[in-house]
């Protein structure tokens, strides 16, 4: 069984919760929504293409992550996010049967969130906070992948490289090309 879904679901949810709960340095709520809305769109569009089983599995993963959140303020944000994803699942009535869609969607959402933080103006997120969040997320991703197979690790690296190759914005593309190395998934050249 692949561990990519639970690992990526945790990283995506933790990133969204961290940004929205104004940790670590007090991100303005409007700026937090601006930083996370792209990832939510990625998740929402992925739900449209996912099978019913995967849609419900994603909601289950988000709910479990919310239940295990130890900080009360973060738990409230996590629960709110999990329920928003549940409502999004309920909106999609048709079962599309694409079993690998969510791994791709979660990986894209994680990459989008981290690239957005890296490229955000200093008045949206303090650069030091962006670095802290990115370092934490990369550590969390590597720790999760320590339990995964080499096949899972290579699949994720391949997805990140595919996203980079498809990136049209030159600044995002440059960062995306370095993403697997920057996240510590492969040795830097």
Domain region containing 136: 4-182
Taking the model in full, what pTM does it have? 0.86
Q: Is residue 132 part of a domain?
A: yes
Which residues, other chains included, contact 31 with Cβ-Cβ below 8 Å and sequence gap of 6+?
Answer: 124, 125
74 is written with which tokens?
Answer: 């973060």
> Which pLDDT band holds residue 86 (cuts at 50, 70, 90)?
confident
Percent of the chain beyond pLDDT 70?
90
Position 10 in a domain: yes
Look at residue 189 and tell me if it is in a domain.
no
pLDDT digits (tens, 9 = 90+) for 93-148: 555 554 546 888 899 999 999 998 888 888 888 888 888 888 888 888 999 888 88
Q: Is residue 110 part of a domain?
A: yes
Total domain count for the chain? Answer: 1
Quote the tokens at residue 6: 């639970």
Assess if residue 135 is contained within a domain. Answer: yes
CA dist., res. 75 & res. 98, Å (int): 31
């Amino acid at each position: 069984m692949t561990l990519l879904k639970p690992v990526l679901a945790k990283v995506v949810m933790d990133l969204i919760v961290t940004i929205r709960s104004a940790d670590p340095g007090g991100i303005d709520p409007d700026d937090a929504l601006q930083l996370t809305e792209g990832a939510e769109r990625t998740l929402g569009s992925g739900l449209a293409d996912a099978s019913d089983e995967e849609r419900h599995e994603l909601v289950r993963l988000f709910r479990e992550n919310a239940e295990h959140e130890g900080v009360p303020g973060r738990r409230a944000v996590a629960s709110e996010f999990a329920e928003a994803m549940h409502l999004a699942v309920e909106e999609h009535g048709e079962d599309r049967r694409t079993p690998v869609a969510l791994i791709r969607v979660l990986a894209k959402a994680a990459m989008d969130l981290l690239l957005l933080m890296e490229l955000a103006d200093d008045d949206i997120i303090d650069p030091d906070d962006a670095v802290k969040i990115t370092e934490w997320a990369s550590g969390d991703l590597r720790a999760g992948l320590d339990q995964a197979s080499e096949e899972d690790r290579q699949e994720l690296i391949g997805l990140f490289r595919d996203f980079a190759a498809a990136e049209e914005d030159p600044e995002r593309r440059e960062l995306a090309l370095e993403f697997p190395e920057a996240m510590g998934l492969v040795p830097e050249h």
